[in-house]
Amino acid sequence: MNRYTRDMRGYGPNPPHAQWPDGAKVAVQFVLNYEEGGENCVLHGDAGSEAFLSDIPGAASWSGQRHWNMESIYEYGARAGFWRLHHLFTEASIPITIYGVATALARSPEQVAAMKAADWEIASHGLKWVEHKDMPQDEERAAIAEAIRLHAEVVGERPRGWYTGRCSQNTVRLVAEEGGFDYVSDTYDDDLPYWLEVEDRDQLIIPYTLEANDMRFATAPGYITGEQFFTYLKDAFDVLYEEGSEGAPKMMSIGLHCRLIGRPGKLAGLKKFIDYIQGYEDVWTPRRIDIAKHWAKTHPHQRYARPSQMNKTDFVAAYGGIFEHSKWVAEGAFELELGPAHDSAVGLHNALCRTFRTASRSARMDVLTAHPDLAGKLAAAGRLTAESTTEQASAGLDILTDQERDIFTRLNTEYVAKHGFPFIIAVRDNDKNSIMAAFERRIGHDSDTEFDEACKQVERIAYFRLLAVLP
C-alpha cells in the first residue's frame, strides 16, 4: 500500500462551529512554559549547558561546563519573571495553563504552590527541557512515564495535558498510547482542536503556537519591543474575532516563558494585550483543560471506515460501484498514494478520477457504455443499480407521462446511434425539464466533444455518489 500519513486536509472548507461557552467569538488561551531548572545543565546530568531561548545572542552549548550567564537568565525566570506574570494574570482574573517540566517543578515548590492556589492548570512539559528527536522509542516512553510519575509526586495529581516542544516523530503517538491524557499539544496545524485516532484510542489534539509566542524575542526574525509583540497579538486576535463574528469561532493560543516575557520591557506588550481583549465581552479565556473538556463534550469523536486505511478487498467492495459497473477504477485508485486527504468525498473523488482520466479511451468508453439509458428499458424493468435508481428518481424520471417517455426513448435511440454510448448527465444537478433541454442540445454535438462531456458527467455522478457515503 502506497500511503501518505500527513494530513493536509484537516477540517477542510467547513470546520465545525466551536460553540464556545456563552457564545464567545474566540477562545484566547495563555500558556506559561515553566522550564527553569529543567534545562540542559551539567548539574542535571546533561552533557553541556543550555543554548535555546535566552537573551544571549548566538548562544551555544558549552560541553562539559556550566554556563553561568545562561543559568542566571533561566534563574531570572523562576525568581522574578514568574512572580511578575503571576501577579498580572491573577489581577486580570485570567486562568492559564502551565506547561511544567517535571524536574523544573520539583525544584520550584513555592511557584507550584502559587500555581495551584490560582487554580491554574499544570500540564506536563516532559521530564526535562531537552531534545527528544534522537531518543529511541523505549527511552522516550520511559521518559514520558517518569515525567508523569514525578509530576504527580510534586503537584499532587497526574497531568491531563501534554506538550513536549522539542519532540520526536514518535512523541504524540507514545503520549496517546499512555492513555491518560485529555489532550496533547505537540502540533501547530490548526486553529481548532481535533481528534487523532491512535490505534484504539481517540486522542484529542489541541494545537499550540510558535508565532503568537514570546520565543520570538529570542529568535530571528523576532520581536524587539513589547509593542511589537502587542501589535502581532492584536492583529491575530482581530482576525479571529472577525471570523468568529461571521460564524466560525476559533482558538488563539499564546505561548509565554518566564525568563522572556517576564522582563519588564517585554511584559508591557502582554499587559497591553490583556487590557485590549478585556474590552470585549464575548471572549473566552480558558485553561487548555477547559477547552479539552468542552470539545470532548460538544464535538465527540465519531469513527468511520477511512478509505486510506482499508485493505484492497474492502476498498473495492465499498467504492467499486462509484463508476458504474467499473470496479477497475477503484482498483487503480487504491494503488495511488492515498492518505487522510483522501478520506473525504472530495479527496477520494480526486483519486478515482485520476485513474479514470489516465485510462485508455476504450476503457473510458466501457464506463460510458456501462451507464443505462435515462428512463429507458432497464429503468422500466427495475434493473438499474441502486445508485442509478435513486438518481433518476431524484429528477422525476421514474414518473414520466407516456408522452415524455416516448420522447426520451426517441432521443436515447438517436443519441446512441450517433455517438455510440448512452446520453449521460448528472441528474442531481438537474430536473426533468433541464435534462430534456440538455438532451436536445447535446445530441447535435460531434462525437469527440460529446465523449469529453460524457466523461465529465460520469465524474460528476461519481462525486454525488461519494457524498452519500463519506464526509
Provide the annotated active-site residues: 371
Pair type for strands 194-198 and 26-34: unpaired
309: number of CA atoms within 13 Å, CB side?
Answer: 11
**DSSP state at residue 207:** -
For residue 100 the three cell numbers come to: 511544567
Q: Which of 135, 133, 82, 137 is nearest to 104 (CA)?
A: 82
The separation between CA 426 and the C-alpha centre of its own chain, rounded to angstroms, equals 32
Instruction: Confirm if 438 and 456 have CB atoms less than 8 A apart.
Output: no
Return d(Cα 29, Cα 27) in angstroms, integer.
6
Q: Which of 69, 32, 33 is nearest to 51 (CA)?
A: 69
380: Cβ–Cβ under 8 A, 6 or more apart, which residues? none
Return d(Cα 415, Cα 424) in angstroms, integer.
10
223 exposure class (CB count in 10 Å sphere: 0-12, 13-18, 19+): buried
DSSP of 40-105: S-GGGT-SB---SSSSSTT----BTS--HHHHHHHHHIIIIIHHHHHHHHHHHT---EEEE-HHHH
Backbone torsions φ then ψ of 206, nearest 5 degrees? -115, 100
